Amino acid sequence: MPPPELDDKCDCPRCAARMNPESEFGVDKSKFPASAGGDDGAVELAPRVVRRADLAIAEGRANGFSSRLLGEAFAKLSQLPDDLSAATLFDTFAADSVAPGFSLIGAPGKPLSTELLPGDVLCRRGEGGFGHAAIVAGSDLWPRDHVSIAGLNAESNAPGIYVQVVEGGPNPHTSADCFARRIADDAGWIPRDQMLLRPQRSAFDESFEESVPIRRDEAYVRWIQESLNQVNGAGLVVDGILNPQTNGAIRSFQQGRALVADGIVGPITEQALIDAGAQAPPPPGGEFPPISPVSATPAAVPPSPLTEPRIDPRDERVDVSAKFGLQRMVKRSDMRNDAVRLIDGINSGKLAGIFGDDLQATVRLAQRHGTERWLLVPEGEDGALVLDPAEPLTTPPTIVFRRLTRNTMPGKAIDPKTAEPIRSGQEFGVRDPQTGQQVMTRDLPAERLDAALQKASRSLKLFEDSELDSCDSSPSVVPVTNLVPSSICRVFGTLKSLRLCTPTGEPLARAPFTVRMGSNVIKGVTDRDGFLEVRVPTDQAAFVVDWSDPNESDPALANFTRKVFAELGSGDEADHRRLVNLGYFSPTLQEQLGEFRAEFRRPRNVSDSELRLQVRAWHDGGERPQPSP
């Protein structure tokens, strides 16, 4: 977990990681060249490695010793070492040597700096000749207190970072067992008895892909499609074509059952379909049963886990805890849309960042709002959508969430260079060298953080849909409890444009006005062209506007009142009233249109009907027309 204060002048691993866009989990990747030892073909290779491991475990060929799984999963290595065991691999790389077919991506006692892929190897070294090997089955990393929420079973209660694995040995675990091993401590440092390796695509011969029997004949593909329609409601067209829709539905089924989500139906996925209620598949060359009526109607395919929206792990605009939270949210049907909105907001720049209230970015944001960082999130909320204080309705906002602190006054500043680090369970903090006082920080519980991010996502949607405005801009407003500043509210109704003029039709610039809608009163001044905008509730049929001529000294001549009709329809009388509202006071509609045509230099070939459409767009939608050239 990050310390209470992160300083861009501090060179400790955690601060350097958060301030350096090339780092993750307290890692400066430039100091660890081995992290670049991956292979371009690793992503392509990964599902086959895990699939072979799953099959070997299911058939009992990887029991007894965990290293047997390496021989089964990597049996097609053209440069296979003589002794492909966990102990041999560990000792080889620990001695700065190179083992054929593998690259070192995580060294013992070093920070984790590379995003893991399915098929990577976790090696552990014990006393004597003992070693243990597990194959990474998923790319998502989970802190210990989030493992169970992710549906995984952790190997221990030790705090740290966990990943799903498959492994052989006396107690084997397939992908379906949802077993997770600890690969790093809670600061992202790999234990000294562990390392992470990545198989190189170039070390495998061409027959590797064919080493696991995969059927792609038409009858079998039709069985897959029919089975997915039956057990998962996929709504696929049963045509025997292995198209992207079918691959996506396969991956969705695999993800829901904690299998390797590679979109390929091998023996493990086939058995999972049968266990879920599907019929047995046809034999090779056999006939397929008739198509059921439900399968003839295509439907939306669930999103593919391989194309899930993701945030770059190195993106410093998102707190590490928030990254874990978003990973959890995209896997929940009730939170997925909210997570996607936040991820898209970060990736598109519409959202400035997601930070805990202990970071320097939050400190600077709080200073701009004239408050302290620990007071930025409103009382009673775990998170907030914080708008820009200068341009709240146009500048991308920031999401800030709370950290839980204890043993100190909120926001106590301690120099991280002189403070003594403290780690206790899931907490991290420092000891003040002057007072000896401990300052401990820990994340919100996962369920509270996820709920806060979801609520902030809903407020972000209001921002994107332009449903936020000053609380005094309309009589129909609703406060948003997790929005900062509190002077911005959710507004309802239609935005109306009015122009205030003298009785002779001269627009009044900077004229004070008062809008009365029943018991609600809105005050302001017109712009330099005499216009004002007011949001009118949908049930408000009419309202009254009072205004004054700032250049007239005689009160009897300076004050004006007009009744404005909000809902006008599309008839002649309605358009006449619109034009009156916009400052055209001629007694007939034809004369008003003539004034409008002259002001905006519309040519004679523009019909009156077109002019009336422009008037409605201006009055009802705020789209002020531009003069013709």
Cis peptide before 485 (omega within 30 of 0): yes
Region of 122 on the Ramachandran plot (φ > 0 left; ψ -120 to 50 alpha; else beta): beta
Bridge partners (DSSP) of residue 514 are 523, 546
**Of 18 and 333, which is predicted with more confidence?**
333
Contacts of 581 (CB under 8 A, 6+ apart): 496, 498, 499, 564, 565, 619
Mean pLDDT, to the nearest integer, of 378-405? 89
494-621 belongs to CATH 3.40.470: no
- Does pLDDT of 397 surpass 90? yes
Q: What is the pLDDT of residues 516-552, one digit of tens each?
A: 877 678 888 888 888 887 777 766 777 788 888 888 7
pLDDT recorded at residue 452: 92
CATH topology of domain 25-203: endopeptidase fold (from Nostoc punctiforme) (3.90.1720)
pLDDT for the residue 460:
94
More confident residue, 543 or 129: 543
Q: What percentage of the chain exceeds 90 in pLDDT?
A: 10
Reported as a single tens digit per residue, the pLDDT across 463-495 is: 988 788 888 766 667 789 999 999 998 876 677
Judge whether 526 and 508 are in contact, CB under 8 Å: yes
Report how far residue 104's alpha carbon sits from residue 461's, in angstroms, rounded to the nearest whole number. 43
Q: What is the pTM of this model?
A: 0.39
pLDDT band at 183 (very low <50, low <70, confident <90, very high): very high
The whole-number pLDDT of residue 404 equals 64
pLDDT band at 248 (very low <50, low <70, confident <90, very high): confident
The predicted-structure confidence for 400-428, as pLDDT tens digits, reads as follows 998 765 444 444 444 444 545 444 444 44
Phi, psi torsion values for 244, nearest 5 degrees: -60, -35
Q: Average pLDDT of 344-350? A: 90
Q: Do domains 25-203 and 494-621 have the same CATH topology?
A: no
HEC secondary structure over 431-482: ECCCCCCEEEEECCCHHHHHHHHHHHHHHHHHHHCCCEEECCCCCCEEECCC
- Residue 106 phi/psi, 5-degree rounding, is -150, 110
Q: Cα separations (Å) of 593 from 92, 583, 584? A: 87, 12, 9
Query: What pLDDT is stored for residue 369 in this prediction?
Result: 92
Beta bridge pairs of residue 176: none
Phi and psi at 565, nearest 5°, equal -90, 125
> Is the model more confident about 165 or about 51?
165
pLDDT the model gives residue 484: 94
Q: What is the mean pLDDT of residues 336-343?
A: 90
Residue 36 pLDDT exceeds 70: no
3 state SS of 258? coil
Q: Is the dihedral of CA 550, 552, 554, 555 positive or negative?
A: negative
The CATH class given to the 214-306 domain equals: mainly alpha
Q: Is the pLDDT of residue 387 over 90?
A: yes
C-alpha atoms less than 13 angstroms from C-alpha of 342 in its C-beta half-sphere: 31
CA dihedral 261, 265, 271, 277 (to 10 degrees): 90
Q: What is the pLDDT of residue 96?
A: 76
Token code pair at residue 33: 């060249």
CA gap 253, 276 in Å, rounded: 10
What confidence score (pLDDT) does residue 234 get?
A: 82
Domain limits of the chain?
A: 25-203, 214-306, 320-484, 494-621
Among 365-369, 378-382, 552-556, which is the least confidently predicted range?
A: 552-556
Contact criterion met (CB below 8 Å) for 30 and 110: no
What is the pLDDT at residue 483? Answer: 94
Helix runs in 59-100, H state only: 67-73, 86-94
> What is the pLDDT at residue 446?
81
How far apart CA 123 and CA 132 sit, in angstroms, is: 6
Which of the residue ranges 54-63, 124-133, 306-315, 344-353 would you say has the lowest mean pLDDT?
Answer: 306-315
3-state secondary structure of 184: strand
pLDDT at 624 over 90: no
- Render 215-240 in DSSP notation, one character per residue: ---HHHHHHHHHHHHHHH------SS
Please tell me the distance from the alpha carbon of residue 96 to that of residue 472, in angstroms, as a whole number. Answer: 68
How many angstroms separate the CA atoms of 204 and 476, rounded? 67
Mean residue pLDDT across the chain: 74
Q: How far is CA 503 from CA 7, 500, 523, in A?
A: 63, 10, 21
Answer yes or no: is pLDDT of 10 > 50. Answer: no
Quickly state the pLDDT bin for 54 (edges 50, 70, 90). confident
How much is the average pLDDT of 32-57? 57
pLDDT score for 469: 84
pLDDT at 16: 38
* More reliable by pLDDT, 483 or 507: 483
Band of the pLDDT at 301, cuts 50, 70, 90? very low
147 CA to centre of own chain: 19
How many helices (H) and strands (E) in the chain?
A: 16, 25
